[in-house]
Structure 1
Amino acid sequence: MLPHIETIPQRHMASGDVLSFQVYKFIGARPGKKVYIQSNLHGAEIVGNAVIHQLLEFLLSVNDTEIAGQIWLVPVCNSMSTNQRSHYFASGRYSISEAKDWNRIFWDYEKFTNNIMEFAQSQIHLNLEVVRKNYLDAIQQKFTGLLENINSYSSVPYTEKFRYKLQSLSIDADYLIDLHSHTTQGLNYVYYFREREESAKYFLLPLGVLLDEYDGNAFDEAFIKPWLALEKCFKELGRETKFDVEAWTLELGTGMQMNPDSVDKGVMGIKNYLVRKGVLQTSDTVVKGELSQGTSSHEMSFSTRSQAKKYYAPTGGMIQSKVELGSSVKAGDKLYQILQFNKEGKLPTVIDVFAEQDGLIYDSSTNHAVNEGEFVLGLISVTSNQ
């Protein structure tokens, strides 16, 4: 099937050029859920674009009767960050003019209302689908109100216009997938939210990290946080409720690289997720065989973001003998050495750095020359294996 393609202007530049992005909308023949998938919110994190490209090619071969609902794909969603360079290196993690992380700018409904408990009380006896519609209407009404400032003479900073365009596309989705990779070197894993652990397994990645600490400013957080808040209010009122609303961030490998393994894992995981959630009902035996094989041999470890610890250089120097990415370490194991130079007429010294906890090396710096206080590696404690 062919997608509906919409080109959306993103920013009018001083040169007269207009930066844009495109949305590829695959509309199924039957009603169902809306899935929103985007990539490249951070400039160096490009692997998601290859994932979306392969999903596009796959969906072109799918009949519209095999999709229940809609699948929206948005590659290269942030032209400003993608085009940002320092010498030969992509950066684009921050909006330079506003000094803001591109993934810490998003609008969170919960921060702009104080009546979620009141809303829950008014909806306590209603059907869940009716509650979902009513709550989404309330969110969208508040969100649309942002246009008054955006369209005013005084206007708003660019990040607020940018976030509005992305969130206006995704705010009514049922399932949201934001494709990232590490700015440095990293493993493949998925961030998930409470009560969504079973669905996290559908992505067939080796590690799931629960976002037990968040403030709502990231893209996935801003999307799901209001729904988690409403679930909590219902629980306090004695009604156990779980909305079929899910948000995911897939961390796929290393920045500035199209790592084939990360691409393959991302594509396979998203296909499996779409099948397991009933959005993709493909008759393709090859796809079913691939998914069956991947699921049968899959093992997944779980952790929480609060159990992750970053290690920063205690002094400046050159990193050597660093433990490899993906290694399991015990407290007291040597993580790396710093070859420290001086200007005091003395010989260089070697400083050993040891692990403070058991865990898995999930993030590692690319640059082995560090100034004091710069990031070296990340270690996360794995709490279970299923």
Structure 2
Amino acid sequence: MSHTVEKIALKSPAPGTERFLTIHRFGTIGARPKVYLQAALHADEWPGLMALNHLIPMLDHADKAGRIVGEIILLPYANPIGLDQRLGGAMPGRYSFDGAGNFNRNWPDLSAAAAAHIPQGFTGNTGQDTATLRAALLQAVADLSTRTEIDHWRAQLLGLSIDADYVIDVHCDQESQAHLYCHISHADIAKRMAAAGDIPVVLLEEEAGGFSFDDCNAGVWRRMTGLVDQAESLPMACYGCTLELRGKDDVNDVFGQKDAAGLMQFMIAERVIQGDTSNLEGPEPYRLDEVDVIYAETGGLIAYKAEIGEYVQEGQLIAEVIDITASDPLTARTQLVSRTAGLFFARIDLRLISAGEGVAKVAGRKLLEHRKKGALLEA
């Protein structure tokens, strides 16, 4: 199949207003493995837009050469609703203005809806059961409500992604090194992705919480247990990851080219695309509950004392928060320290912060009792 481009109309939010998704397809429809890629689900996160912009001509070249074994679906932008949200010249694209909340939270759990389409149960034959569940998931997506603009948009994305072998949701942090999140059962795939893309931090989760887009696609495979007979024998047949391409301001052609080349190499390694499958050995992953999220108890001006990419010690000073209302500036500083030894890989991009704000992330090698499972990196 040659590279094709189509547009899917989204529900209009108001008279005279139109929005659409642009879909690039490569390879052969229905072929395996199937890869789904999208960028800027959080519409204010743009490094992925640059990476996929560079990836499209690479995939087009591979397609014309007959090298694409499977099917690849690519959305160069995932969220035209968020892209249209402007406030005072800024784009607060993380949350929907209509009250629906974070664009990457509370995606539907399709397990019960899919189970309703498999009354006969599974057979124990891995290939057959995988195909059965994928068909049931597509039916479950077709049954989703499309009442609101957000509902309709979500259903369109899931209709493209839910039966994929690989779901790559490209985001970025505020100021950070590149890193990715995935389920612990997919550690080996994540390490290959990290090696291909020169990604220093892999974060593994057992139950991420929040029902993000990647977990909606990948997590349903483990949630079928107890809903359908013999579901415990199902493989985790969808690798879903959130790929964080550094920080918000890391948008340039050099990074875009590098990130696109990394995604190409990963798809070659996974035999989606023909090519040199040289051995890829990525970094040793961290568990999500080994990551210290450092919060500021008071608001003020923040002064960092450590840099992104630095290996810090437990108890090391990371930043100071300055109370600009204090009478004596010399006594106005509150110290923030790391509660683990590890890699300081991400921090907030604001310099005037609010009380309770998460300001830094350090990935270490010990479980942290204060971390809450199922809360992503938000508690």
Pick from 311, 326, 336 the counterpart of residue 328 of structure 1: 311
Q: What is the percentage of aligned positions where both structures have the same residue?
A: 24
Cα pair 2:175 2:349 within 8 Å, conserved: yes
Give 1:12 shift: 1.7
User: What CA distance in whole angstroms lies between the structure 2 residues aligned with 1:208 and 1:56?
Assistant: 25
* Aligned residue identity for 1:123: F
Report which stretch shifted further, 79-88 or 328-337.
Answer: 79-88
CA-to-aligned-CA distance 1:191-229 (integer Å, 9 cap, x gap) = 121321111122122221112222362111011112123
Do the aligned partners of residues 341 and 157 (structure 1) sit closer, same or farther apart at CA in structure 2, a change above 3 Å counting? same
Do the aligned partners of residues 112 and 29 (structure 1) sit closer, same or farther apart at CA in structure 2, a change above 3 Å counting? closer
User: What CA distance in whole angstroms lies between the structure 1 residues aligned with 2:14 and 2:237?
Assistant: 44
Pick from 183, 188, 202 the counterpart of residue 198 of structure 1: 188
Q: Superposed, which structure 2 residues align to 1:205-244 within 5 Å?
A: 205-215=199-209, 217-230=211-224, 241-244=234-237
Give 1:336 shift: 0.9
Is 1:139–2:108 an aligned residue pair? no
Structure with bigger gyration radius: 1
Name the Cα RMSD after superposition.
Answer: 2.9
* Aligned residue identity for 2:222: L
Do the aligned partners of residues 165 and 256 (structure 1) sit closer, same or farther apart at CA in structure 2, a change above 3 Å counting? farther
Gaps of 5+ in 2: 368-379
Do the aligned partners of residues 44 and 302 (structure 1) sit closer, same or farther apart at CA in structure 2, a change above 3 Å counting? same
User: What CA distance in whole angstroms lies between the structure 2 residues aligned with 1:143 and 1:13?
Assistant: 21
User: What CA distance in whole angstroms lies between the structure 2 residues aligned with 1:371 and 1:378?
Assistant: 17
Is 1:254–2:243 an aligned residue pair? no
Do the aligned partners of residues 256 and 96 (structure 1) sit closer, same or farther apart at CA in structure 2, a change above 3 Å counting? farther
Counterpart for residue 153 of structure 1: none
Number of residue pairs aligned between Structure 1 and Structure 2: 360
CA-to-aligned-CA distance 1:354-378 (integer Å, 9 cap, x gap) = 2222222122111211232223212
Report which stretch shifted further, 65-74 or 254-263.
Answer: 254-263
Is 1:310–2:293 an aligned residue pair? yes
User: What CA distance in whole angstroms lies between the structure 1 residues aligned with 2:143 and 2:231?
Assistant: 33
User: What CA distance in whole angstroms lies between the structure 2 residues aligned with 1:97 and 1:308?
Assistant: 33
Q: Superposed, which structure 2 residues align to 1:1-386 within 5 Å?
A: 2-14=2-14, 16-28=16-28, 31-62=31-62, 63=64, 65-110=66-111, 112=113, 122-125=121-124, 127-146=125-144, 149-150=145-146, 156-182=147-173, 184-203=174-193, 204=195, 205-215=199-209, 217-230=211-224, 241-259=234-252, 262-282=255-275, 288=276, 292=278, 299-342=282-325, 345-347=327-329, 349-382=332-365
Do the aligned partners of residues 128 and 364 (structure 1) sit closer, same or farther apart at CA in structure 2, a change above 3 Å counting? same
Cα pair 1:45 1:181 within 8 Å, conserved: yes
SS at 1:23's partner residue? strand
Do the aligned partners of residues 225 and 29 (structure 1) sit closer, same or farther apart at CA in structure 2, a change above 3 Å counting? closer
* Aligned residue identity for 1:340: D
Give 1:261 shift: 5.9
SS at 1:89's partner residue? coil
Counterpart for residue 285 of structure 1: none
Do the aligned partners of residues 226 and 99 (structure 1) sit closer, same or farther apart at CA in structure 2, a change above 3 Å counting? closer
Give 1:266 shift: 2.6
Give 1:265 shift: 4.5
User: What CA distance in whole angstroms lies between the structure 1 residues aligned with 2:29 and 2:132?
Assistant: 26
Cα pair 1:310 1:378 within 8 Å, conserved: yes
Give 1:104 shift: 0.8
* Aligned residue identity for 1:371: S
Cα pair 2:114 2:136 within 8 Å, conserved: no
Do the aligned partners of residues 245 and 347 (structure 1) sit closer, same or farther apart at CA in structure 2, a change above 3 Å counting? closer
TM-score relative to the length of structure 2: 0.85
Give 1:190 shift: 1.6
Do the aligned partners of residues 239 and 129 (structure 1) sit closer, same or farther apart at CA in structure 2, a change above 3 Å counting? same
Cα pair 1:315 1:372 within 8 Å, conserved: yes
User: What CA distance in whole angstroms lies between the structure 2 residues aligned with 1:279 and 1:238?
Assistant: 27
Cα pair 2:2 2:27 within 8 Å, conserved: no
Give 1:110 shift: 2.3
* Aligned residue identity for 1:105: N
* Aligned residue identity for 1:312: Y
User: What CA distance in whole angstroms lies between the structure 1 residues aligned with 2:259 and 2:200?
Assistant: 12
CA-to-aligned-CA distance 1:145-168 (integer Å, 9 cap, x gap) = 22xx43xxxxx2322111101101
Do the aligned partners of residues 273 and 321 (structure 1) sit closer, same or farther apart at CA in structure 2, a change above 3 Å counting? closer
Report which stretch shifted further, 67-76 or 133-142.
Answer: 133-142
User: What CA distance in whole angstroms lies between the structure 1 residues aligned with 2:236 and 2:42?
Assistant: 29
* Aligned residue identity for 1:81: G
CA-to-aligned-CA distance 1:119-150 (integer Å, 9 cap, x gap) = 7x94244x21111122222222232222xx43
User: What CA distance in whole angstroms lies between the structure 2 residues aligned with 1:53 and 1:212?
Assistant: 32
Cα pair 1:319 1:338 within 8 Å, conserved: yes
Do the aligned partners of residues 115 and 22 (structure 1) sit closer, same or farther apart at CA in structure 2, a change above 3 Å counting? closer
SS at 2:156's partner residue? helix
Do the aligned partners of residues 242 and 261 (structure 1) sit closer, same or farther apart at CA in structure 2, a change above 3 Å counting? farther
Do the aligned partners of residues 244 and 225 (structure 1) sit closer, same or farther apart at CA in structure 2, a change above 3 Å counting? closer
